[in-house]
Amino acid sequence: MTAGAGSLRVASAQRSVLERARAHPARLAGASLLALGLTIVLGVGLGSVPVSPADILGILGRHVLGLPIAATWAPAAETIVLELRLPRVLTAVVVGGGLAVAGATFQGLLRNPLADPYVLGTASGAALGAAIAVVIPVRVAILEFGLVQVFAFIGAVAAIAVVYRLSRSGPLAPLTGLLLTGYAVGSLLAAGLSMAMYLSGAGLRQIFSYLLGGLDGSSWLRLAGTTPIIVLGSVAILLRARSLNALLLGEEAAAHLGVDVGRERTILLGLASLVTAAAVSICGLVGFVGLVIPHLVRLVTGPSARRVLPLSALGGAILLVLADVVARLLGEIPVGVVTAVIGAPFFLVILRRARTGYEL
C-alpha cells in the first residue's frame, strides 16, 4: 500500500518534470545543448590515455580560439585531443544527430513508428557498396575517402532511388508500395552482400565491422567531406517540419491542409536518404540511434516535427558520443553493438512507460 502510494508520487513527479519540459521547449533545447557540450568534453577526455577536462578546455582555447593559454599539459595530450579524439567525437555528433533526424523523418513520412533511417534499403545498399569495395582488388583514396566510403554512399543513394522509382510504377498506395518495395529491394541487396562476404576471404572482418558501425576511422577530412551534406540536409528537413506535421493525419488529410503531398514526400525522402547515406558512408551501419531517439524526444515534446527534429539531432549526437566512449573504453568494440545494447532495452522501457502503446 505504502509502496504503491510512493511509486504513484514518483510517477506524478516524473510526469510534472515532463510537463515542464514540454511547456518550455527553449529551456529543453538549452539543457540539451549544455548536455551535449558536457558529453563532448567527456568524449574527448576518456580513452586509453585520459585527458582532464581542464586540459581539454585549455587545448581547445589555445588552438581553436587562439587564446593565450600557457601549455600545462603534455605535448602528447595535444595530439590526442586535436588529431584523434576531437574529430572522432565531432563525427559522432554529426552522424548521431543526422541519423536521428533522418529516423524522425522516415517515421513521420511513412507514418510508421518502427521506421528508421535504414528501412527503405539505404542500409543494404550501403553495405553492399562497402562490401564490393572491400572485395575488389582496387585501392584508391582521395582526401581520405576510400572506395569503401564512396561505394557505401553511392550504394545507399542508388538503393533508395531504385526503391522510389519501382514503388511509383506499381499499383499500390504510395506508402505501402514504398515499404514493400524497400523490403524486396533490401532482400535482394542482402543476397548480394552475403555473396560478397562469402567471396571476401580476409576482407570479411572489414565488411563485418562496417555492418556493425564504428567511429575509429574518423578524421578531420572525412568529417569535413560529410558534414555539409548532413547539416544542410537536416536543416532543409527542419524547414519542411510543417509538411511532416500535416502528414500525421495521413496523406489525404495532409493534402486537405494545403500540403503538396507527392512533392513533399519526394523531397523529404531524398533529403533524409542523403543524410543517411553520408552518415553511414563514414561510420558504417550504426543502429538504433535513428529509431530510439525520435521516440524518446516525442515522449517529452509531443509529435510536432518542429520540436522533434532539432531535439532529436541533439539527442542522437549525445547518444552516439556516449556510445562511442563506451566502445572505446571496452577496447574498440563496434559502436553499433553499444547503441543496440543501450538502445534496445531503453526502447522497451519507453514503450512500457508510454501512456498508450504504439499502434502499428
Partner 1 sequence: MTAESLPPVVNRGPMVELRDVTAAYRSRPVLDRISLAIGAGERVAVVGPNGAGKSSLLRVISGILKPTGGTALLAGEPIDLMDRGTVARRLAVVPQASTLPFATRVEELVGLGRVPHEDPFRGHRPVDRAAIAAAIDRVGVGHLLGRDARELSLGERQLVLIALAVAQAAPVILLDEPTVHLDIRHQVQVMELLVDLNERDGATVVAVVHDLRFAAHFFGRTVVMDRARIVADDRPARALDAERVREVFGVDADLVRLGLPVAAD
Binding site for partner 1 (CB under 8 A): 107-108, 111-113, 239, 241-242, 245-246, 248-250, 252-253, 255-260, 298-299, 302-304, 306, 354-356, 358-359
Min separation Cβ 11 and partner 1, Å = 16
SS3 of 253-268: the string is HHHHCCCCHHHHHHHH
Measured between alpha carbons, how far is 248 from 266 in angstroms, rounded to an integer? 17
Q: Measured from the CB of residue 269, what is the shortest distance to partner 1 in angstroms?
A: 16
Q: In this complex, which beta carbon is closest to partner 1, that of residue 39 or of residue 105?
A: 105
Q: How far is the CB of 308 from partner 1 (least distance, A)?
A: 9
The burial of 208, by beta-carbon neighbours within 10 Å (0-12 exposed, 13-18 middle, 19 or more buried), is given as: middle
Q: In degrees rounded to 5, what are phi and psi of residue 64?
A: -90, -45
Q: Which is nearer to partner 1, 161 or 300 (CB)?
A: 300
State the maximum Cα–Cα separation within the chain, in Å, rounded to a whole number. Answer: 70
**Toward partner 1, which CB reaches closer, 13 or 354?**
354
- Least separation, in Å, of the C-beta of 181 and partner 1? 20
Q: What is the DSSP letter of 247?
A: G
CB nearer partner 1, residue 80 or residue 246: 246
Instruction: State the Cα torsion 86-284-282-294 to the nearest 10°.
Output: -70
Task: Tell how far CA 82 is from the center of its chain.
Answer: 24
Cβ proximity to partner 1: between 112 and 219 the closer is: 112
Cα separation, 103 vs 29, whole angstroms: 19
Question: Which residue's CB is nearer to partner 1, number 83 or number 260?
Answer: 260
Q: What is the identity of the amino acid at 324?
A: D
